[in-house]
Amino acid sequence: MKYVLVTGGVVSGLGKGVTASSIGVLLKACGLRVTSIKIDPYLNTDAGTMSPFEHGEVFVLDDGGEVDLDLGNYERFLDIKLTRDNNITTGKIYQSVIDKERRGDYLGKTVQVVPHITDAIQEWIERVAMIPVDGKEGAADVCVIELGGTIGDIESMPFIEALGQFSYRVGPGNFCLVHVSLVPVLNVVGEQKTKPTQHSVRGLRGLGLTPDILACRSAKPLEENVKDKLSQFCHVPAANIVTLYDVSNIWHIPLLLRDQKAHEAILKVLNLHGVARKPLLDEWTRRAELCDMLQEPVRIAMVGKYTGLSDSYLSVLKALLHASIACRRKLTVEWVPATDLEDTTAKETPDVYKAAWNLLKGADGILVPGGFGDRGVQGKILAAKYARENNVPFLGICLGMQIAVIEYARSILGLQDANSTEFDPDTKSPCVIFMPEGSKTHMGGTMRLGSRRTYFQVTDCKSAKLYGNVNYVDERHRHRYEVNPDMITELEDAGLSFVGKDETGRRMEILELHSHPYFVGVQFHPEFKSRPGKPSALFLGLIAAACGQLEAVMQHSGHVSMVAMKNCMSNGTLPAKAYRNGSANKAANGSLNGSLYCNGNGVHV
């Protein structure tokens, strides 16, 4: 196993996660198998209890791990499936050491940060790096480790110490340190400043780690004399200094690294020079260029709680983007704070209310993402009602599905007080209720989490077609409440179809309104399994419906017919082509197994 450690200096928010994922992509393009580990030096055991507003979205893995959103970047960029142990936190490490101490494993010893915590970190890394994550047997060739935070943070000290020891333990030729830093330009002089990077490299060295590669974030490419200066003062060869200058979309980053021969530098440090091939990044190149070229917009209103911070809904945004590119549209997300749609806003700040409704009404499609707590719930219900009554394509995810049920019960069944017991524990019409396996006293890791199976109840529905006419799909979950099984008959009799259920048939997973162009609600989170080349089926459905391509996309989700494909392209209904491998009855595993292809020049998005 070879290790690439990615650290960050100077300031946070440099895009270390995207850089580390892009290094992974580049190495994968050289023919290597790549896995990854993210270290978060905070004390929380996992990201599950952290507010998306403070820390960005909580990403959910197949095994139910609630992890840092950077793991989502790794899964999307490398098309892998990680485990909860691929996210190391201080909380997890201390918990494992304290458990061992209580068991008596250190009997007689004083348990200390060095060596016990630092040993536990190294053992954890070595163990987790060996877990196969790409569907193949055996361990990967390279493990990319990203150390969260910035060099100098107090809480990352045990990790730095452990990684310093680790580099010595695995020996030269097996460990490569990439330090991501900032080279700012001061407006007055217009000169690229190297001092912050010099300082952060000095800090790194002082802690026992020597950078092999410097990845410098800057607005423009580094000037040669700046590189020379950095090389001289940081003791890193100029060939090992790459610039991550601003680009139009993140898919350019692996290309940027390749163009500056970052792979050659890394492979040399890792003694893999003769083993790896030249990087093949044609698909990435075409995707990055295509993304820049798109002009015709598709406008999606995101009706959520944390609309001020796009990281709160990162995977949803990525899934929308993957689907938009497949439909050859430029994605425009209209952020609509759910509370702004409510009557109280109309009274207090009518302008805000009007602006929010204008945004909603101007959208081609409406998405209500997952959420917790009752703030903005009424606004989300109003958005679902608007979409239902005005035939606007709608996708409700998790809470978004639950509020669609509440809205239907109120409007169509006439149950005025219909609600979720999450928001009104005493409601007389509880159409969404607490799940028996949840916990109301312990918040960490007590939801229905991770990959669960949904069985289609009928074949003639939009979601089954979009998934490629499969019998079942596996998607990731994160919820404590569910549609009340005792109200299903009443809701179904009134026209709300639950077309996907779990294996017991008592848990509702997918709802649809047949009479509506596209009204879909899902208890799971399809966004977590969307990939750049394989958009999630239901996001593709939303975007396709929003730009008038749904019929064509559904027709081609199950199989490919060259004649139909040519027809679509010549009459312009479907520039992108849904293309699925495998037989109709095979499971889709939550996303289209095949890829989406573009027209004649073979663009693969």
Task: Give the nearest distance from C-beta 494 to ligand GLN in angstroms.
Answer: 22
At position 481, the amino acid (one-letter code) is Y
Residue entry with tokens 């650290």: 7
Distance CA 219, CA 528 (A): 31
Q: Which is nearer to ligand GLN, 88 or 399 (CB)?
A: 399
Query: In terms of DSSP H, where are the helices of 184-308?
Result: 195-206, 224-234, 253-259, 262-269, 282-293
Task: Give the nearest distance from C-beta 301 to ligand GLN in angstroms.
Answer: 18
Q: Which is nearer to ligand GLN, 449 or 461 (CB)?
A: 449
Task: Give the nearest distance from C-beta 422 to ligand GLN in angstroms.
Answer: 5
Task: Give the nearest distance from C-beta 235 to ligand GLN in angstroms.
Answer: 48
Q: Helix, strand, or coil here: 197?
A: helix
DSSP one-letter string for 15-68: -HHHHHHHHHHHHHHTT--EEEEEEE-SSSSSGGGS-HHHH-PPEE-TT--EE-
Buried b (16+ CB within 10 A) or exposed e, 253-274: bbbbbbebebbbbbbbbbebee
* Residue 327 among the catalytic residues: no
Find the helix or strand (DSSP H, E) in which 217 lies. strand 213-218
Paired tokens of 374: 């009752």
Distance CA 61, CA 84 (A): 7
Distance CA 117, CA 106 (A): 12
Paired tokens of 40: 């978060």
Q: Which is nearer to ligand GLN, 380 or 516 (CB)?
A: 380
Distance CA 211, CA 376 (A): 47
Q: 545: alpha, beta or left, given left = phi > 0 and alpha = psi -120 to 50?
A: alpha
Q: Which is nearer to ligand GLN, 246 or 437 (CB)?
A: 437
Buried b (16+ CB within 10 A) or exposed e, 79-109: bbbbbbbbbbbbbbbbeebeeeeeeeeeeee
Q: Which is nearer to ligand GLN, 93 or 320 (CB)?
A: 320
Task: Give the nearest distance from C-beta 111 to ligand GLN in angstroms.
Answer: 38
Task: Give the nearest distance from C-beta 484 to ligand GLN in angstroms.
Answer: 12
> In the Cβ-directed half-sphere of 541, how many Cα atoms lie within 13 Å?
31
Paired tokens of 590: 């939550």
Q: Which is nearer to ligand GLN, 262 or 383 (CB)?
A: 383
Distance CA 473, CA 587 (A): 6
Choosing from 30, 398, 431, 461, which is the catalytic residue?
398
Are 340 and 305 contacting, i.e. CB atoms less than 8 angstroms apart?
no
Task: Give the nearest distance from C-beta 409 to ligand GLN in angstroms.
Answer: 16
* Residue 398 among the catalytic residues: yes
Which has the closest alpha carbon to 26: 37, 38, 15, 18?
18
Task: Give the nearest distance from C-beta 77 to ligand GLN in angstroms.
Answer: 24
Q: Which is nearer to ligand GLN, 317 or 399 (CB)?
A: 399
Distance CA 411, CA 409 (A): 6
Give the residues lining the site for ligand GLN (CB under 6 A). Answer: 370-372, 398-399, 422, 478-481
Q: Helix, strand, or coil here: 300?
A: strand
Buried b (16+ CB within 10 A) or exposed e, 309-335: eeebbbbbbbbbbbbbbbbbbbbebbb
Task: Give the nearest distance from C-beta 401 to ligand GLN in angstroms.
Answer: 8
Choosing from 334, 422, 482, 527, which is the catalytic residue?
527
Q: Which is nearer to ligand GLN, 481 or 518 (CB)?
A: 481
Task: Give the nearest distance from C-beta 370 to ligand GLN in angstroms.
Answer: 3
Task: Give the nearest distance from C-beta 402 to ligand GLN in angstroms.
Answer: 6
Q: Which is nearer to ligand GLN, 249 or 439 (CB)?
A: 439
Choosing from 525, 547, 556, 598, which is the catalytic residue?
525
Q: Helix, strand, or coil here: 321?
A: helix
Which has the closest alpha carbon to 156: 207, 82, 213, 226?
207
Distance CA 500, CA 364 (A): 26
Buried b (16+ CB within 10 A) or exposed e, 521-539: bbbbbbbbbbbbbbbbbbb
* Residue 55 among the catalytic residues: no
Query: Which residues are catalytic, by number?
Result: 398, 525, 527
